A and B are shown apart, each in its own frame.
Chain A
Amino acid sequence: GQQLNQSPQSMFIQEGEDVSMNCTSSSIFNTWLWYKQEPGEGPVLLIALYKAGELTSNGRLTAQFGITRKDSFLNISASIPSDVGIYFCAGQHSGAGSYQLTFGKGTKLSVIP
């Protein structure tokens, strides 16, 4: 199956620091999604990207759809303790079978107060 490489696997940062994580794929996607999962919960959609080169923000979160359509980046500015969780990227194609998401393995974020 398709592979999404998400890095880093985990991060320990001080409160107030900025965070960057990324996802790369062996194939092209038409949609990139970023989810956050908190302990004991299901993933929640943070940002959706639909166009190569697109840069989208959601509060302190900013994500970009790479020009090659094979990568995406998520940045969190001025981290706070409630940012703790696992962040997943997911790629999605368009057309037939486009409902299927391919997930990365996640980036576990820990914020030290």
Chain B
Amino acid sequence: NAGVTQTPKFRVLKTGQSMTLLCAQDMNHEYMYWYRQDPGMGLRLIHYSVGEGTTAKGEVPDGYNVSRLKKQNFLLGLESAAPSQTSVYFCASSKAGGGRETQYFGPGTRLLVL
């Protein structure tokens, strides 16, 4: 039981390049989330999914797209990377929504956009 895993761990992009971050969970959780963490900031929600085939915008969705084709995977895409997207990206999952469902976080993907 690996929990939440993220691929890759670290990536360097040039401005304008595209990439996809992969999140996988093996806990059969319905809800999945993508956050970004910037220095001196808490985590901010980018997009989330309440089930396979569904996605919704979070607090800071601009410049990102997501897909949830399989229940266990949640992909975060950057179509045209910008330096402002340099950040650490965390994926999380929870059994369901609601105040009593713990969100479990992955180890993060560090992205540097030059």
Taking Cβ atoms with an 8 Å cutoff, the residues of A that contact B are 1, 4, 6, 9, 30-31, 40-45, 48, 50, 88, 90, 92-94, 98-106
A100–B45 touching, CB < 8 Å? yes
A99–B94 touching, CB < 8 Å? yes
Chain A: CB-nearest residue to B99 = A31
Taking Cβ atoms with an 8 Å cutoff, the residues of B that contact A are 4, 31, 33, 40-45, 48, 50, 58-59, 90, 92, 94, 97-108
Chain B: CB-nearest residue to A108 = B40
Classify the secondary structure of B's interface with A: loop
B90–A43 touching, CB < 8 Å? yes
User: Provided the pairs A40-B108, A43-B90, A100-B48 are in contact, do residues A106 and B97 lie with their beta carbons within 8 angstroms?
Assistant: no
**Interchain CA distance A50-B100 in the complex, whole Å:** 8
**Residues on the A chain within 8 Å of B108, using CB:** 40-42
User: Provided the pairs A31-B99, A43-B43, A93-B99 are in contact, do residues A99 and B31 lie with their beta carbons within 8 angstroms?
Assistant: yes
**Residues on the B chain within 8 Å of A102, using CB:** 42
* Min distance, Cβ B22 to any Cβ of chain A, angstroms: 15
A98–B41 touching, CB < 8 Å? no
Query: Which A-B residue pairs are the 10 nearest by beta carbons?
Result: A103-B42, A42-B105, A99-B97, A31-B99, A94-B99, A103-B43, A43-B105, A105-B42, A92-B99, A42-B90
